[in-house]
Structure 1
Amino acid sequence: MSRKDRILGALLGVHAGDSLGASYEFNSWSALQDYYPNGIPHDIVGGGPFGWSPGHATDDTDMTRAVLLAYKHCTATHAADATDAKDSRDSLALATVAGNYMLDWYEGRWPGRRLGSRPVDAGGATRVGLSTFSGSNPRDPRRAGAGQGQAGNGSLMRCIPTALFADKAALVEESALVSAVTHDDARCVLACAAYNTIVAALVDGVLPADAVEAGLAVLSEDTVELIVATFTGDDGEVVGTLTKENLLEALPQVQSAISKGKAVRVGDLAELGPDEAPGGKAAIPLHASGYVLESLTLGIAAVLDTDRTTEDLLVDVVSVGRDTDTNGAVAGGLLGARDGVEGIPALWRSKLQFGQEFTEIVNSLVK
């Protein structure tokens, strides 16, 4: 399997997990058990609370597209060198371009929607963060975000292009900056850095268990210092709300979320539910309702189950319930990086709204 296959698999995995889960969002595990006693369909069928057509992107894929377009734009124009990322100014410019594309999505300049119409599924922290970003002059991701205490999964769901197209030396920095456009809580920033580290290792062909260890290893005090430097202005003062104290407090929480993913099986969660599955109460006490660290835990559990297919694992992740589209997207990115594009069922791929566009972008950026 080529590196390009894994990169495309990661992007389409986000899209497939998102579109699969969109049909069941907000339903609890027990409700899904009642509605689908034989299990949810192994197909992308649309519907759900927002009435999606099959394969339509929700905010997860839309905002992933925004970050992907930023890498495409910055590579083409050399406004920020996403390959070499020679200095922090380049990374800051890249994140700013990503934020501008997110505003296009939020303000109604987006494919598949009437011009000027707002998305139906923008999360609260995303709305606050983008409004703050839009109002800053100049626009600066470090001055945006919804602030500390807003630890939803809205940046983890769309961070994967950084894993695929940033230079490894800039991966942590760009993960933090792109997250901070909407989610600057320390848990979100560190989760994105760890997740992208794992995805980058998987794309390079590293075994899942070793890739997860690489994600744990990046959760260090050295990484904290790097992020603090990234969020420090020329005057030596911290820009925004993300501080060293926030990051050090969050560090063991993100480490724990990954460790919990190593200790629980997605199949058990899908079959028995979050409360009855072995380790389920510890792993996802909030029942996968949108907390960034629970989505990370589910994704880790899925990618470490190497005996099962992307299709089966994504169906199980979605079957856990609640924030099904985002949990599917987060796990789908990891599984796509692990198993490549062919690991995603061809029928699913044929329905994805941005499947062709994502393929064309990967072909243009990866030789």
Structure 2
Amino acid sequence: MYRVNRILRGAFFGVVVGDALGGPVESMTAEEIKGKYGVFKEITGGGRQGLEPGEWTDDTRMTLDVARGILANPAYPLEEIGHNFLRWYQSGPRDIGTTTRESIGNYMKTGNWREASRKTAQTLNKMDSNGGLMRTLPVSLGYWQDMQKIAKWAAEICLMTHYSYDSATCCIFYNLLVRLAGNGGDKRQMVSRALELTDGYCSEMSILPSKFFWHIIRSVQKGARPVAPRGNSLDTLAASVQAFLNNQNFEDTLVDVVSRGEDTDTAGCITGGLAGTYYGFEAIPQRWLKAIRDSEDIEDICRLFEAYWRHKGLSA
């Protein structure tokens, strides 16, 4: 069970550490971060949201909502996840993305998540923001034994609020990559294999991403210039994968992606989840772990997933 614990805790604590590291510098440019901090590598608090040191954002909150929904009903998690989203929304969160807010509001009028997200797409005329991607990691952990289910539920959960094939494809690719990362090995081979699998599953599900999706991921593989994680799924995913490929430990990977500026909490969140799965819980710096507020919520979800994996007979 050591490996199971290492992966699960690495993944979930990777998410929250990345979120808490990136939150205070959200919306700053790389130049502004460097000018203020030099090398930004400590969990400081502050920033646009006025965060306490170690406080996490809506990225982690919604990740936990997805995780609990999958555990409550793995055969069809959308209803439970939706209930969790509604409870969070009605609690008056400090920060909530425009697309997510619109889609939840539309769901409260229609009672149908897909109809709600389609209506949001018509209203906003732009649905490729990274709000679906930021919360998606639990899909890989919930359906670890079945790549096809990983792809299916990654897309379905994204499309609840973000009706965009590019966003759905980013979620599919990310979760497949996290799953492969759990086995260790050569990172570039993982990215190539995740691309192959994503292509196949997207074809099966008639999800047709734009050519830009393939271009941006392949350009990352070939060592393109650093991508800044702006608020859309494609740039955020590209920056995350780029940092994962170009660094050799958890801390350097997170420092790299957060130092690029822009949507740093989401970039930190998804990169932390990926790197935490690959390097394991023990690779996360202790000073970052000690800084996390409300860490018992993360411990609880790790324990629940460990019990779920035991029930499934999983040994990673």
TM-score, normalised relative to structure 2: 0.88
Displacement of 1:3 in angstroms is 3.1
Alignment partner of 2:272 out of 332, 337, 341: 332
CA distance in 2, matches of 1:346, 1:98: 31
1:289 equivalenced with 2:230 (yes/no): yes
CA distance in 2, matches of 1:6, 1:208: 16
Displacement of 1:310 in angstroms is 1.0
Displacement of 1:6 in angstroms is 1.4
What are the within-5 Å matches in structure 2 for residues 339-354 of structure 1?
339-354=279-294
- Indicate the SS of the match to 2:155: helix
Displacement of 1:162 in angstroms is 0.2
What are the within-5 Å matches in structure 2 for residues 117-196 of structure 1?
118-137=92-111, 139=112, 141-145=113-117, 146-147=120-121, 149-166=126-143, 167-168=145-146, 169-196=148-175
Which residue is 1:302 aligned to?
A: 243
Which residue is 1:271 aligned to?
A: none
- What amino acid maps onto 2:61 in structure 1? D
Displacement of 1:143 in angstroms is 2.3
The number of equivalent residue pairs is 299
Which residue is 1:30 aligned to?
A: 31
- Indicate the SS of the match to 2:87: helix
Displacement of 1:354 in angstroms is 4.4
Structure with more of its chain in helix, by fraction: 2
What are the within-5 Å matches in structure 2 for residues 203-242 of structure 1?
203-220=182-199, 222-228=200-206
Instruction: Give deviations 1:95-133, integer Å, cap 9, x for gaps.
Output: 22112211111110xxxxxxxxx2222111111111122
Displacement of 1:180 in angstroms is 1.0
Displacement of 1:208 in angstroms is 2.1
Instruction: Identify if the C-alpha distance between structure 1 residues 225 and 258 changes in structure 2 by more than 3 Å, giving closer, same or farther.
Output: closer
Moved more, 319-328 or 347-356: 347-356
Displacement of 1:210 in angstroms is 2.5
Instruction: Give deviations 1:263-306, integer Å, cap 9, x for gaps.
Output: 33xxxxxxxxxxxxxx33xx63xx42211111111111122235
- Indicate the SS of the match to 1:214: helix
Which residue is 2:81 aligned to?
A: 98
Runs of 5+ consecutive residues of structure 1 not aligned to the other structure: 75-81, 83-89, 109-117, 229-246, 265-278
CA distance in 1, matches of 2:257, 2:205: 31
Instruction: Identify if the C-alpha distance between structure 1 residues 134 and 164 changes in structure 2 by more than 3 Å, giving closer, same or farther.
Output: same
The answer (yes or no) to whether the contact 1:133–1:181 under 8 Å persists in 2 is no
Q: Which has the larger radius of gyration?
A: 1
Which residue is 1:57 aligned to?
A: 56
CA distance in 1, matches of 2:219, 2:131: 21
Displacement of 1:55 in angstroms is 1.5
Taking every aligned residue pair, what percent have the same amino acid on both sides? 28
Which residue is 1:254 aligned to?
A: 213
Instruction: Give deviations 1:211-263, integer Å, cap 9, x for gaps.
Output: 2122201232x4234334xxxxxxxxxxxxxxxxxx42x25322222222223
Output the aligned Cα RMSD.
1.9
What are the within-5 Å matches in structure 2 for residues 10-21 of structure 1?
10-21=11-22
Which residue is 1:268 aligned to?
A: none
TM-score, normalised relative to structure 1: 0.76
